[in-house]
């Protein structure tokens, strides 16, 4: 049973979730800066401009298609759903056109006029990254990437339902202009004036058919709509037998089969990685991908990714979990939250199911039986995948755990421990004996015959924990100790309570109960002898501590703090550091090492010199605080006290 105090602690903790690690600063859009960075980005990343523009065109068609599917009043011609690329070598122009949803004047202004993606720049600033830093490869900056290869970008767009078209034009550096213009039919044309070659860069490449074709194949093969280009071929002139001429034929370059519909065996890691960056799932490479095709009562395809790095906003409230949701190939939701439990919120990817209704509302979707089934299925698959990784690819798993282990620990105490069974085998902690990360299962397997508990010690760093006096006795017994350095570790095991019937125990717990019978006897006698003295110490220290006790756990140190009750000293520290600190405190016990020389001095002082005794008590208490990493309430008094005994 979880105690009521612990429940109170958990309620407070739920507010901790998502409020630590990254402080978000308000950031003004610095379009010019970002453009500069982009233009100076390394050559190999420039080619992604094409992927970005094609994705935008595909999104624009998606939007119109979706509208049309869910609203009978909308007329459309399915044959219009394609993306066209035109090359004009002589004038150095590359054009990408779509007959999608289009943009009106306001949208041109707000979508292209300022950089929406200021997040990437903010990230760069917050992390003090140098200008050479590969921000493009890391983020994908959408439309603006066009300026990496162009001197001038022209956007001509007519929105669906609008009768006017507008032209947006910019050379990147000195702002942009918008004016009304002529355009037949709805949709958007993006026209790039390709830069002249420089000593280092061959911009001419982007005017070559073969190059564009290979870029489409590389990055945009899976786009659902045809990507068409006029291909030059040489043909026999009609009516002649030996005269040839150049003719242009419109050809579709991409295969159009979405990656999730393809056979797993035909796909390479690279294909999944391309999909990952094409979709902007993350700015890293995925650590792992899962390709799921379920063909049962409910059918669905899904591609899921476990990222390698923690997204910069992951542990903040801004981070939104969710998977893309498609209904039979049509995107119906960008971030479907109901598909992922919070503890797997780091997973990126998509789900496509034929069985979902297209115009289902968000509210209805929550209760949708199919969706629930898929979510449950996905949860199990992710867990199995992680377990396999832990078993067979330990290094990879440790990389994963470094990035997202904290989320798994949240999962343990979230919902009052409802999912702890699912997650406990995924936990890892640093071990005192192995000097590396170990699982609970490995710990329990190694436990000594006479050992009844799983021991842990909390602190700021492994180094500091190693030096904690409280670890001495446990280490002397030859028991392994798990080191907790994450502020939520202890909360997680408090909710877990035990693993494979072995209870967790802090080395600082008051009831550690590791003394031998002889030691216990000795302790009792000593306590009897010095009862008055301990009472006196308790009186001097007052409310600061619950009791003063003899300690047999200490070997070389004179004092330490232990705690009674549900809240440990480390937990108190975390709770105190939170906004609207709750005032919940650990019940601290000052333990004195009766085998230490100091103990004799203390006894002498108690008998002969009450002032000195008072001084010793306060100093010992403050020393115990310092060892715990707690601050001394009055440092000036403390140093004065030390000076007094030095005199
Ligand atoms: P992102 O696509 O990630 O939102 P972009 O900078 O690529 O960022 O594009 C900004 C916005 O401009 C898009 O969200 C979209 O609303 C609009 N946009 C870009 N290209 C097109 C297009 N071809 N048709 C319609 N809207 C477009």
Rounded to an integer, the average pLDDT of 594-615 is: 93
Task: Give the number of the atom of ligand 1 that is nearest the alpha carbon of residue 144.
Answer: 6
Q: What is the mean pLDDT of residues 370-386?
A: 95
Dihedral pair phi/psi, residue 256, rounded to 5°: 70, -10
- Which range, 139-148, 150-159, 367-376, has the best average confidence (pLDDT)? 150-159
Evaluate if residue 382 carries a pLDDT over 90.
yes
Cα–Cα–Cα angle for 321, 322, 325, rounded to 5 degrees: 170
DSSP secondary structure string for all residues of 260-297: GGS-GGG--HHHHHHHHHHTT--SS-EEEEEEEEEESS
Order of strands, sheet of 244-252, starting from the edge strand that comes earlier in the sequence:
176-181, 165-170, 150-158, 187-194, 93-98, 83-88, 227-236, 244-252
> Cα(470)–Cα(75) distance, rounded to whole angstroms?
75
Residue-level pLDDT at 68: 82
Ligand 1 center from residue 16 Cα (angstroms): 35
Question: Would strands 547-551 and 587-593 be described as parallel, antiparallel, or unpaired?
Answer: parallel
Is any atom of ligand 1 closer than 6 Å to the C-beta of 98? yes
Distance between Cα 32 and ligand 1 center (Å): 18
602 lines ligand 1 (CB under 6 A): no
pLDDT of residue 38: 58
Closest CA to 491 of 481, 504, 507: 504
Mean per-residue pLDDT of the chain: 86
Provide the pLDDT for residue 514.
85
Report the separation in Å between the CA atom of 501 and the middle of ligand 1, taken as the mean of its atom positions. 55
User: Do residues 345 and 307 make contact, with C-beta atoms less than 8 angstroms apart?
Assistant: no
Residue whose CA is closest, atom 9 of ligand 1? 143
pLDDT value, residue 136: 42
To test the pocket of ligand 1, the residue of 61, 65, 81, 111 to mutate (highest count of ligand atoms within 8 Å of its CB) is 111
Residue 438: is its pLDDT beyond 90? Answer: yes
Among 149-158, 256-265, 477-486, the least confident range: 256-265
- Give the H or E element holding residue 432: none
If pLDDT is split at 50, 70 and 90, which confidence band does 39 have? low
DSSP state of 509: B
Pocket test for ligand 1, best of 59, 153, 183 (most atoms within 8 A of CB): 59
Say whether pLDDT at 129 is over 70: no
The predicted structure's pLDDT at residue 392: 97
Does position 46 have pLDDT exceeding 50, yes or no? yes
pLDDT of residue 36: 61
pLDDT at 359 over 70: no
pLDDT at 391: 97
Q: What is the dihedral of CA 174, 176, 177, 180, to 10 degrees?
A: 160
pLDDT higher than threshold 70 for residue 369: yes
Domains of the chain: which residue ranges? 23-231, 259-395, 427-506, 519-646
Phi, psi of 572 (to 5 degrees): -60, -45
Whole-angstrom distance, CA of residue 255 vs CA of residue 414:
44
The answer to whether residues 198 and 163 touch, using CB atoms and an 8 Å cutoff, is no
Q: Residue 100 CA: which ligand 1 atom is closest?
A: 24
Exposure letters 129-168 (e unless 16+ CB within 10 A, then b)? eeeeeebbebbbbbbbbbbbbbebbbbbbbbbeeeebbbb
Fold category of 519-646 in CATH? 1.20.120
Any ligand 1 atom below 6 A from CB of 57:
yes
Contact 468, 555 (CB under 8 A): no
Q: Say if residue 467 is exposed, middle or buried (CB neighbours under 10 Å; 0-12, 13-18, 19+).
A: exposed
Q: How far apart are CA 65 and CA 227, in angstroms?
A: 16
pLDDT band at 366 (very low <50, low <70, confident <90, very high): low
Lowest mean pLDDT among 78-92, 319-333, 477-491: 319-333
For 23-231, which CATH class? alpha beta
Q: How far is CA 311 from the centre of its chain?
A: 5
pLDDT band of residue 388 (cuts 50, 70, 90) is very high
For the residues of 194-209, what is the DSSP string, one character each? EPPP-SS--GGGGG-H
Q: Report the atom number in ligand 1 closest to the C-alpha of 187.
A: 24
> pLDDT at residue 296 above 90?
no
User: Does position 418 have pLDDT exceeding 70, yes or no?
Assistant: yes
Architecture of domain 427-506: 3-Layer(aba) Sandwich (3.40)
189 secondary structure, DSSP code: E
For residue 152, the cross-strand partners are: 193
Atom of ligand 1 nearest to the CA of 55: 2
**Which of residues 269 and 117 earns the better pLDDT score?**
269
Kindly report the number of other CB atoms within 10 A of residue 338's CB atom. Answer: 19
CB 603 within 8 A of CB 536: no
pLDDT band at 515 (very low <50, low <70, confident <90, very high): confident
Cβ contact 443:482 at 8 Å: yes
Of the listed ranges 219-223, 354-358, 475-479, 556-560, the one predicted with least confidence: 354-358
The predicted structure's pLDDT at residue 132: 40
Measured in Å, residue 142 CA sits from the centre of ligand 1 at 7
pLDDT higher than 50, residue 22: no
pLDDT cut 70: percent of the chain above it: 87
259-395: CATH topology: Ribosomal Protein S5; domain 2 (3.30.230)
C-alpha 162/C-alpha 103 separation (Å) is: 9
Q: DSSP 3-state assignment of 22? A: coil
pLDDT at 140: 43
The SS3 call for residue 170 is strand
Give the mean model confidence (pLDDT) for residues 352-361.
72
pLDDT score of 25 more than 50: no
Please list, in sequence order, all residues whose beta carbon lies within 8 angstroms of the beta carbon of residue 204, skipping any fewer than 6 positions away. Answer: 194, 197
What does the DSSP 8-state code read for residue 19? B
Q: Residue 27: pLDDT above 70?
A: no
Output the pLDDT for position 134.
Answer: 42
Residue 130 is predicted with a pLDDT of: 45
**Which stretch of 130-144, 410-424, 448-462, 569-583 has the lowest confidence by average pLDDT?**
130-144
CA distance 360 to 332: 9
Q: Is 478 left (phi over 0), alpha (psi -120 to 50) or beta?
A: left
């Amino acid at each position: 049973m979880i105690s009521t105090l612990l429940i109170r602690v958990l309620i407070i903790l739920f507010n901790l979730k998502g409020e630590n690690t990254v402080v978000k600063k308000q950031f003004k859009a610095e379009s010019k800066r970002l453009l500069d960075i982009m233009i100076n980005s390394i050559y190999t990343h420039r080619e992604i401009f094409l992927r970005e523009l094609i994705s935008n065109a595909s999104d624009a068609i998606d939007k119109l298609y979706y509208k049309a599917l869910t609203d009978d009043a909308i007329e459309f011609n399915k044959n219009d759903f394609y993306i066209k690329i035109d090359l004009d070598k002589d004038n150095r122009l590359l054009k990408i056109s779509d007959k999608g949803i289009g943009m009106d004047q306001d949208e041109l202004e707000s979508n292209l006029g300022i950089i929406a993606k200021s997040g990437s720049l903010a990230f760069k600033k917050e992390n003090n990254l140098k200008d050479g830093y590969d921000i493009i490869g890391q983020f994908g900056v959408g439309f603006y990437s066009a300026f990496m290869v162009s001197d001038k970008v022209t956007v001509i767009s007519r929105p669906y339902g609008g009768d006017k078209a507008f032209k947006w034009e910019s050379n990147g550096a000195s702002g942009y202009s918008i004016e009304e213009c002529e355009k037949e039919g709805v949709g958007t044309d993006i026209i790039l004036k390709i830069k002249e070659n420089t000593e280092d860069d061959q911009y001419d490449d982007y005017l070559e058919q073969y190059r564009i074709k290979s870029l489409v194949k590389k990055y945009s093969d899976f786009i659902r709509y045809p990507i068409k280009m006029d291909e030059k071929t040489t043909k026999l002139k009609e009516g002649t037998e030996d005269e040839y001429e150049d003719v242009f034929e419109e050809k579709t370059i991409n295969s159009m089969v979405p990656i999730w519909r393809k056979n797993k065996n035909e796909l390479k890691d690279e294909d999944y990685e391309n999909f990952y960056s094409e979709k902007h799932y993350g700015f890293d490479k995925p650590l792992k991908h899962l390709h799921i095709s379920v063909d049962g009562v409910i059918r669905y395809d899904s591609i899921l990714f476990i990222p390698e790095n923690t997204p910069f906003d992951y542990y903040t409230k801004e981070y939104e979990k969710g998977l893309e949701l498609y209904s039979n190939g049509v995107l119906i939701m960008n971030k479907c939250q109901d598909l992922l439990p919070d503890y797997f919120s780091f997973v990126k990817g998509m789900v496509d199911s034929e069985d979902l209704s297209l115009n289902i509302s968000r509210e209805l979707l929550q209760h949708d039986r199919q969706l629930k089934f898929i979510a449950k299925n996905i949860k199990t698959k992710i867990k199995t995948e992680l377990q396999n990784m832990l078993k067979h690819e330990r290094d990879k798993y440790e990389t994963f755990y470094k990035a997202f282990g904290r989320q798994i620990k949240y999962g343990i105490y979230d919902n009052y421990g409802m999912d702890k069974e699912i997650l406990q085998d995924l936990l890892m902690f640093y071990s005192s004996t192995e000097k590396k990360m170990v699982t609970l299962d490995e710990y329990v397997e190694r436990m000594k015959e006479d050992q009844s508990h799983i021991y842990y010690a909390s602190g700021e760093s492994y180094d500091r924990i190693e030096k904690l006096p409280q670890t001495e006795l446990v280490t002397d017994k030859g028991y392994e100790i798990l080191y907790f350095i994450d502020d939520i570790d202890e909360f997680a095991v408090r909710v877990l309570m035990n693993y494979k019937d072995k209870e967790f125990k802090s080395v600082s717990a008051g009831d550690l109960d590791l003394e031998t019978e002889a030691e216990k006897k000795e302790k009792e006698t000593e306590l009897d002898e010095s009862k008055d003295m301990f009472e006196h110490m308790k009186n001097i220290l007052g409310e600061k501590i619950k009791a003063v006790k003899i300690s047999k756990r200490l070997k070389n140190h004179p004092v330490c703090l232990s705690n009674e009750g549900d809240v440990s000293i480390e937990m108190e520290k975390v709770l105190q550091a939170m906004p609207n600190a709750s005032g919940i405190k650990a019940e601290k016990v000052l333990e004195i090492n009766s085998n230490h020389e100091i103990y004799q001095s203390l006894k002498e002082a108690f008998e002969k010199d009450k002032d000195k005794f008072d001084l010793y008590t306060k100093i010992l208490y403050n020393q115990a605080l310092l060892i715990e990493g707690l601050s001394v309430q009055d440092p000036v008094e403390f140093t004065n006290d030390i000076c007094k005994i030095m005199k």
